[in-house]
Amino acid sequence: MKSWAMRRPTANLTIDDFMLRDMPPPEAGDGEILVETHYISLDPYLSRAMKSWKGEHPGWADGTIHGRIVGAVIESRFPGLSVGDRVIGIGRWQPVNAMPGQAVQLIAPDIDPPSLVLGALGRSGITAWVGLHLSGLKAGETILISAATGPVGSVAAQLAKARGCHVIGTAGGEAKCRHATDLLGYDACIDHGAADLEDRLKAAAGEGVDVLFENVGASSLDAALPLMRPRGRIMLCGLAQHYLTEDPMLLRNFKYLLYSELSLRAFITANYPDLFAPALEELRDGILSGRLLFEETIIDGLDNAADTFLAMLGGEGIGKRLIRL
């Protein structure tokens, strides 16, 4: 059976660091289930584990790539789960995984498509909700979101709009920006590659930015700092620009942290489990009622996983990027 693994990667992750190799098919032990992979979640955080070979799950030590998987139970030696159940769990990037029954979560029957639990109804949506919650965002405030059309940014924008905010974003390319304003409710979105980025952001921000929801790192953070209102809040959610390389993070406008008395708060969603229930309640309600648009870019075929993962980090695709088997 084909399974994705890493060579010892260099600091700068490239396609040469990945390899597809043959593995014996897994067998379910006591308390385990066999799960047929339907979707593999391509999550930016995996790049850190890939570069260090230190994931939060056993198996990285031999270079085997693990990530979040949605699939169906095809054999069960765990009393709580039956053949046909749809589950989300951590598995290898391969067609079938043995997983401890206790380590997976059952996907409710009304969740359609089930891949939602990897995006808007999963870690991405919850991260958007938690970031907004911790920022103390209020109606009438202006929020700037980088990686505006990604799974986190697109949900954050829609939630912020529903809270009565002025929502602006940055994204890679004019087409993504049009998508952001036409479909996701952004009041303005600026191509982060535009030569006049800072001027256009300034025009879009009007009186200034109260909350910066930062998903990318130096380039967008630096452009935003002079636009922040006094005592504005920066929510440091991610640093996607820095995941492929070890380039230093250079900030020309770092001084605005002092001049405008800005506060910068980093957050890791996993550390706020108490917020998951209220987050999921609002997200689920929004999705089931059709008020919250969720978007997926689905690429078919296990063979395409590594290329698509790197392309996602480089900005290809909109919404949640998934591999479908």
Q: Which residues of this chain interact with ligand NDP, rule CB under 6 A?
A: 44-45, 123-124, 127, 147, 150-153, 171-172, 176, 192, 215-216, 219-220, 237-241, 267-269, 312-313, 315
String of DSSP letters for 269-325: GGG-GGGHHHHHHHHHHHHHHT-S---EEEEE-GGGHHHHHHHHHHT-SSSEEEEE-
In angstroms, give the least distance from the CB of 299 to ligand NDP: 14
* CB 123, CB 151: distance < 8 Å: no
CA-wise closest residue to 31 among 69, 76, 74? 76
In angstroms, give the least distance from the CB of 145 to ligand NDP: 10
In angstroms, give the least distance from the CB of 152 to ligand NDP: 3
Residue 60 or 309: which CB sits closer to ligand NDP? 309
Residue 141 or 296: which CB sits closer to ligand NDP? 296
Residue 115 or 220: which CB sits closer to ligand NDP? 220
In angstroms, give the least distance from the CB of 260 to ligand NDP: 23
* Other residues' Cβ atoms within 10 Å of the Cβ of residue 133: 16
CA distance 112 to 294: 11
Tell me if residue 102 falls in helix, strand or coil: helix
Residue 63 or 238: which CB sits closer to ligand NDP? 238
Helices (H) and strands (E) in the chain, counts: 9, 15
In angstroms, give the least distance from the CB of 189 to ligand NDP: 9
* CB 131, CB 38: distance < 8 Å: no
Q: Which amino acid does the sequence have at 302?
A: L
Residue 72 or 244: which CB sits closer to ligand NDP? 244
Residue 101 or 125: which CB sits closer to ligand NDP? 125
In angstroms, give the least distance from the CB of 155 to ligand NDP: 8
- Which residue has the closest beta carbon to ligand NDP? 238
CA-wise closest residue to 9 among 298, 244, 205, 184? 244
CA distance 45 to 67: 10
